[in-house]
Structure formats: C-alpha cells, structure tokens
Amino acid sequence: MESIGVLMACPMNTYLEQELEKRFLLFKFWDFPDKALFLDTHRSTIRAVVGNATAGADAELIENLPKLEIVSSFSVGLDKIDLAKCREKGIRVTNTPDVLTEDVADLAIGLILAVLRRLCESDRYVRSGKWKKGDYKLTTKFTGKSVGIIGLGRIGLAIAKRAEAFSCPISYYTRTKKSDVNYTYYPSVIELASNCQILIVACPLTEQTRHIINREVIDALGPKGVLINIGRGPHVDEHELVPALVEGRLGGAGLDVFENEPEVPQVLFGLENVVLTPHVGSGTVETRTVMADLVLGNLEAHFLSKPLLTPVV
C-alpha cells in the first residue's frame, strides 16, 4: 500500500502521521502553500483523505480529487465532510465513534465543576498570593443541580451517567423522545433550558443544530444557569453568548469549542465565570492513539477490500 496516495488535511496527531508515512504515500496538505497547484499535480494520485474536526473534505476538495475513494475522519464529528457529495460519488466515509466518548464526558463534568467551584480562579488566587490576605469567596455546589442535555447519543448518555453520580436530576432534548431512558424529555431546547440549571450541548453539528444556543435559549437558562459546550463551536451563537455573560444574563459557561477556532472572543478572557479549554475533549494520549489506530484500520480495510470498521457512508 506504499504507493497509495493519502492526503492529511491538517496536523492532528504525531503518531497517526508517522504510521501513515510508514504505510502509505502521505501528503501533508499544510506543506503546500499553493493548494491549487498541489491538487492539479497530485489529483490522480490521492485515493484517501484523512481529516478531523478542523479540516476534512468539502465539495471543492472532493471535486478536485477524481480518484478519491475514502475519507477517514480522526474525529467522531462529520461536519467538515460533505457527506452528500461523498454519497453522490460513492466515496466511503469513516469516523472514530465510541473510543472518545468517555474522555469527552469526563471533560464535560470537569468543566461543570471548574465553573461552579471556580477552580481556575481559585488556582490563580493561590498563585498570586491573595490567599495570604484572606479566604477566597464561597462558590456553588454541583451535587443535586438539575442537568439538561441536548443530544442523548453516546456522549450525552455518558455525561448523564456521570451526572447521576452527583445526584443530579437529568432531562434532555432530542428530535424524538427515547423509549429506553427514564430521564425527563422536553420537546424543545427552550423548554429544556427553562427547566435546568446546567445545560450541556452534546449533539452533532448540522444545519439544524447550528446556533441551537441562541438568545432565547440563553435567556431561558438565565442568570443562575451554566452552559457547557463540548459539541461544536457553531452550536452556540457567540454574538449572543458573550454579552449575556458580561451582562450577567447567563451565570457561567464552560467551553471546549468555539465558532472560529482557534480564535476566541477576547472578552471571555477576563470573565471569572467562564472556563475555556482548547478543543481537548478527546485529548488524552490513550484515546488519541486508539483513534489513530481506528483511522489506520479503516484505511487498510478499505484498500484490502475488507469491511470497514466504522462506516458512515
């Protein structure tokens, strides 16, 4: 398989990059400033694209790669891949579900605790020497808080399970009510936000879920509510979120993803009631290695005419 051209859309994982270089003819898209010239030169060589949550395979790239057979995503999300175009052209698509579920759910709980208990601010309080001048202010407990989850797939369910351990009542919103869970269902996001203290975004990004967190939802969550986003940045309308946090119309937020990553609204940097992480939901050595192996396994299965491990298309 050393002669099979594989295009890596952006830097994502050193181990994955090294293994791809060992097994395939790897092209690193970021090494070629003139993308049009590169595609024109190698359009007949590249048979696979490896993408992630930052860059994948849009319609333009797919059209420029007539020999493309498979897009393997180093991510569970598929919003950077034009799935309709892939179906139209018979291009296979895979992702990395399940293996990152636990890490993302762990981070969601970590963000909740960090926001409510002001862990980051408390850390700065000690480091700055302010503790010598007096105790830090009282914060808010997590145990027993009502938790609402948008999206009750693998990750949403894993978050719910963890929140239950904190004696939190769980409610959720999905397009249709689930018959296999006992959590309270609300048929709209606004109703969910109105009936919980912590609102967690854990759904896939689609045109229907883009800006699912808007002014109405934020106001429904209210000045004592906390928003946690471990989904995708565009789930939240940042133009509405930022002023709500500044004005105190929203109590706090824990954000792992942003609309225009790696750009983050600078106003958030000065807010004590906000915790920011750089899209690290699955960012552990253990999980990223398993994810990389899954990408490699899907590529090898495809080119050996074996069943794909995690097919999407």
Partnered with residue 150 across adjacent β-strands are 173, 201
Using CA atoms, how far apart are residues 274 and 268, in angstroms rounded to an integer?
7
Task: Look up 232 and say whether it is catalytic.
Answer: yes
Q: Is the peptide bond before 234 cis (omega within 30 degrees of 0)?
A: no
Contacts of 123 (CB under 8 A, 6+ apart): none
Active-site residue, selected from the candidate residues 118, 279, 288, 302: 279
Using CA atoms, how far apart are residues 88 and 2, in angstroms rounded to an integer?
28
Dihedral of the CA atoms 183, 188, 189, 190 (nearest 10)? -120
Burial (CB < 10 A; 0-12, 13-18, 19+), residue 168, is buried
Task: Look up 279 and say whether it is catalytic.
Answer: yes
Give CA angle at 148 (219, 222), nearest 5°.
20
Give the CA distances from residue 7 to residues 57, 84, 173, in Å, rounded to whole numbers and listed in that order: 10, 20, 38
Dihedral of the CA atoms 241, 139, 106, 216 (nearest 10)? -20
| Residue among 261, 191, 187 at smallest CA distance from 220 | 191
Active-site residue, selected from the candidate residues 261, 263, 272, 286: 261
Task: Look up 42 and say whether it is catalytic.
Answer: no
Active-site residue, selected from the candidate residues 47, 232, 235, 288: 232
What are the residue numbers of the active site? 232, 261, 279
